[in-house]
């Protein structure tokens, strides 16, 4: 194909200058609305899923609701379509742009919480550089903390696991926690880093958790996508690898794991938010985690990947309704830990299998952790809220969300101690 013809083809999808794609513009969500649509049947779910030009915040399940973001120029036409098709709906978010502005307001002035050794405050959402400075502070300050690089992202950003191990790592049962696999879910890395602080800085208040367990914590699985949400598109979900001849970018890193990959609930369309990638483990970020976890698969007994939103504790499997091995014990652990979570702020979470509470989704990390790595307790959590703010949770909810999520992990950790370290 001649260069000029190729430029014309690509220009249909992207802004060009001398046949070079310019930097992506900053995406505005001013006057975008999010509608909550009731899904009464399989047919209605398929009808809604087939519509082009809408953006799912939550695809919903039969008997539940789907949360759909619609651009301002399409709102009236879409509402008319819903009415004509017999869908019941309500407006959940009047203006996504207003939520994004609200999210930027710190809970309190960050200068009220000074720390000369790192930049984290948990009164606002931070860049990765601030998070990395916090990890260095922890490793420099506490002799039972080490930071290990497990590789770099596609664009060369660091991926570093905090290892909390007294008397060396590898001799005790271990807990794995990760956050930020979906870039737009900012409350996830914020909560995960706050839990690091609580685990390590307040060790004296719960020393059994570090004396009897090792902890491996990765705050951002998808650093490239996270950076992109800070600079270009607040609601970007995927990684930033190029696909579809460079027209689209990104793979859904939670549809790319190599257990039952591409067996339902993911897309082969490179422009889709749920694109599963050209093959399992095509994403270097997932390969980095895979290699670290597999080296320690006999030690790690608990695996939890932190998401938002919907207030759910999700159990495997994601790709089917079949009972996962050990599901009764996972359910019992989650139920007990959920009681501890509720006791903190009275926040109600539901517990159940992924398609039971959401939808079919194959290629997820929690399925891989159980099905391939053989980790006996594997979960995914969807943190606050249930839709009022969705992915764009105000900064004043960071610490409350983290506190209740930490309570879940304290309960789970003590159950792991009782079963594996007693």
- pLDDT band of residue 264 (cuts 50, 70, 90) is very high
Range 344-353 average pLDDT: 98
**Minimal CA–CA distance to 89: which of 42, 48, 43, 32?**
48
Range 268-284 average pLDDT: 96
Give the contacts of 242 (CB within 8 A, at least 6 positions apart): 248, 249
Answer yes or no: do 83 and 216 share one domain. no
Contact (CB, 8 A) for 107 and 393 = no
Residues spanned by the domain of 314? 114-421
Does the pLDDT at position 265 exceed 80?
yes
- pLDDT band of residue 114 (cuts 50, 70, 90) is low
Range 295-314 average pLDDT: 98
Answer yes or no: do 327 and 236 share one domain. yes
Regarding predicted confidence, which is higher, 49 or 198?
198
Whether 100 is covered by a domain: the verdict is no
Cβ-in-10-Å burial (0-12, 13-18, 19+) of 142 comes to: middle
- pLDDT band of residue 177 (cuts 50, 70, 90) is very high
Contact (CB, 8 A) for 263 and 231 = no
Q: What is the pLDDT of residue 3?
A: 33
Contact (CB, 8 A) for 161 and 216 = yes
Give the contacts of 244 (CB within 8 A, at least 6 positions apart): 270, 271
- Largest Cα span, the chain: 70
Helices (H), 217-348: 223-231, 284-295, 327-345
Regarding predicted confidence, which is higher, 62 or 9?
62
Answer yes or no: do 305 and 157 share one domain. yes
Strands (E), 229-376: 242-243, 248-249, 300-308, 312-315, 350-353
Q: What is the pLDDT of residue 4?
A: 35
Catalytic residue among 132, 185, 285, 382: 382
- 279 flagged as catalytic: no
Q: How far apart are CA 290 and CA 281, in angstroms?
A: 9
Answer yes or no: do 239 and 292 share one domain. yes
Mean pLDDT of the chain: 92
Q: How far apart are CA 410 and CA 43, in angstroms?
A: 42
pTM: 0.93
- pLDDT band of residue 42 (cuts 50, 70, 90) is confident
**In percent, how much of the chain has pLDDT > 70?**
93
Does the pLDDT at position 142 exceed 90?
yes
- pLDDT band of residue 65 (cuts 50, 70, 90) is very high
**Minimal CA–CA distance to 360: which of 276, 266, 261, 268?**
266
- pLDDT band of residue 53 (cuts 50, 70, 90) is low
Q: How far apart are CA 292 and CA 200, in angstroms?
A: 22
- pLDDT band of residue 368 (cuts 50, 70, 90) is very high
pLDDT, tens digit, 9 for 90 and up, residues 190-209 = 999 999 999 999 999 999 99
pLDDT, tens digit, 9 for 90 and up, residues 376-422 = 999 999 999 999 999 999 999 999 999 999 999 999 999 999 999 96
Q: What is the pLDDT of residue 400?
A: 98
Whether 108 is covered by a domain: the verdict is no
* 145-152 vs 65-70, strand pairing mode: unpaired
Q: What is the pLDDT of residue 94?
A: 97
Q: What is the pLDDT of residue 8?
A: 34
Answer yes or no: do 45 and 160 share one domain. no
Whether 42 is covered by a domain: the verdict is yes
Whether 46 is covered by a domain: the verdict is yes
- Domain CATH number, residue 52: 3.30.70.340
Answer yes or no: do 332 and 372 share one domain. yes
């Amino acid at each position: 194909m001649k260069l000029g013809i190729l430029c014309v083809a690509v220009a249909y999808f992207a802004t060009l200058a001398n046949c070079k794609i310019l930097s992506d513009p900053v995406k505005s969500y001013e006057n975008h609305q999010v509608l909550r649509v009731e899904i009464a049947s399989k047919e209605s779910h398929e009808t809604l899923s087939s519509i082009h030009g809408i953006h799912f915040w939550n695809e919903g399940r039969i008997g539940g609701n789907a949360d759909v973001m619609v651009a301002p120029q399409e709102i009236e036409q879409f509402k008319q379509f819903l009415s004509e098709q017999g869908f019941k709906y309500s407006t959940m978010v009047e203006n996504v742009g207003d939520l994004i502005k609200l999210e930027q307001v710190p809970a309190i002035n960050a200068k009220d919480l000074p720390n000369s050794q790192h930049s984290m405050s948990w009164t606002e959402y931070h860049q990765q550089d601030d998070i990395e400075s916090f990890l260095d502070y922890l490793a420099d300050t506490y002799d039972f903390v080490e930071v290990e690089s497990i590789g770099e992202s596609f664009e060369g950003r660091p991926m570093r696991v905090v290892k909390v191990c007294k008397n060396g790592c590898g001799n005790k049962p271990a807990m794995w926690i990760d956050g930020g696999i979906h870039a737009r879910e900012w409350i996830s890395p914020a909560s995960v880093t706050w839990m690091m602080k609580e685990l390590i800085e307040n060790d004296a208040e719960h020393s059994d958790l570090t004396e009897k367990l090792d902890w491996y914590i990765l705050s951002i699985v998808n650093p490239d996508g996270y950076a992109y949400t800070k600079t270009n598109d607040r609601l970007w979900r995927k990684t930033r690898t190029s696909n579809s001849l460079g027209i689209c970018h990104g793979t859904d890193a939670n549809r790319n794991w190599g257990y039952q990959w591409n067996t339902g609930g993911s897309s082969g369309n490179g422009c889709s938010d749920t694109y599963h990638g050209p093959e399992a483990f095509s994403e270097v970020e997932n390969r980095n985690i895979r290699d670290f976890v597999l080296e320690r698969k006999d030690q790690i007994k608990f695996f939890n990947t932190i998401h938002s939103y919907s207030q759910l504790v999700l159990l495997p499997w994601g790709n089917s309704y079949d009972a996962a091995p050990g599901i009764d014990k996972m359910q019992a652990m989650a139920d007990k830990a959920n009681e501890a979570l509720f006791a903190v702020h009275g926040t109600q979470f539901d517990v159940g299998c992924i398609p039971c509470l959401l939808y079919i989704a194959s290629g997820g990390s929690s399925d891989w952790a159980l099905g391939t790595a053989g980790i006996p307790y594997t979960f995914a959590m969807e943190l606050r809220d249930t839709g009022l703010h969705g992915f764009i949770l105000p900064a004043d909810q960071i610490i409350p969300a983290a506190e209740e999520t930490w309570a879940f992990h304290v309960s789970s950790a003590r159950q792991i101690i009782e079963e594996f370290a007693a």
